[in-house]
Amino acid sequence: MLKWFSAARKYIPRRIKYVLRKPTPPTTTTPFTGPVVVLGSAPQSHKPIGLDETYRIVSVNASQLALQPWGVDAPDITLMGYNEIEGTNTSAVETRRVLNGKRTGALYVLAWRHGRERLEAGLKAIGYGCDESHIVDRYQRIALLHKVSGRLNLELDAETKCSNGIVAVIFALYNGATAVIISGINPHSAGHVYNGVNLARKHVRMDAETLARLVRLGYPIYTADPHVAAEIGLPLWQGMDPAGSKRG
């Protein structure tokens, strides 16, 4: 009973704020017109078949480290959690270490609440560059999931939130991706490609449920990772044929 009351105390004001604010999901400066690779930080990731300059790459937190063997200097877009900027936990510290001296095209920082000036100071301290930066608040993130999946998730606790990787998938779909190819995103994995700490992953259940829901809704989601295709049933990306249609 106490747990129910605690959840209700969060749900009611958050639902009211969502309705009153009428938030719009975050958008790209230029809509996507082709396939988009969403690169997560799971220890195993694979370069998608056929990857070339017609694809756009969205990285998550410090996952762009995995782009080096692909011959790609920087992602087009990075989605980053607010905690990666100033957090003191192991994952945040490792993220900042890996991103020092790196850059991205457009940076979207999720749930940042300290203003643009402090954000820019944080990025400067990290040594991370970008062509443009955007702050995405909680309600824009909720609106993004709601608009694409039809599910209103008010993010009442860590277990009911989606990971930044799944948010990036939904972001790509909302902004026009003709196909989303995930690499390095596996709800069942542990650890991160940019550190050897083998930290457990949060959001496992919600990530798996959301991916399954998106597939049921008919969204063009694929994986470049054979083991993920086998584990969770996503179709394996086979590239594009010369006419621009998806193979497989």
| pLDDT 10s digits, 159-207 | 889 999 999 999 999 999 999 999 999 987 654 444 455 455 566 889 9
On whether residue 155 sits in a domain, the answer given is yes
The predicted structure's pLDDT at residue 159: 81
The predicted structure's pLDDT at residue 101: 97
CA distance 231 to 223: 11
- Strand ranges inside 99-178, DSSP E: 103-110, 129-136
The predicted structure's pLDDT at residue 4: 56
On whether residue 15 sits in a domain, the answer given is no
On whether residue 13 sits in a domain, the answer given is no
On whether residue 94 sits in a domain, the answer given is yes
On whether residue 245 sits in a domain, the answer given is no
Please report, for the domain that includes residue 170, its CATH number: 3.90.1480.10
CA distance 109 to 162: 15
Domain total of the chain: 1
Question: Which residue is listed with tokens 């192991």?
Answer: 90
On whether residue 88 sits in a domain, the answer given is yes
Exposed, middle or buried, 200 (CB in 10 Å: 0-12/13-18/19+)? exposed
Sign of CA dihedral 2, 8, 11, 16: negative
- Residue type at 177? A
On whether residue 24 sits in a domain, the answer given is no
The predicted structure's pLDDT at residue 202: 63
The predicted structure's pLDDT at residue 243: 43
Residue-range definition of the domain harbouring residue 128 = 33-232
On whether residue 79 sits in a domain, the answer given is yes
Q: Which residues, given as ranges, of the chain have pLDDT below 50? A: 2, 191-195, 198, 242-243
DSSP string for 166-207: HHHHHHHHHTT-SEEEEES--TT--SBTTBSS-PPPS-HHHH
- pTM of structure: 0.90
The predicted structure's pLDDT at residue 200: 54
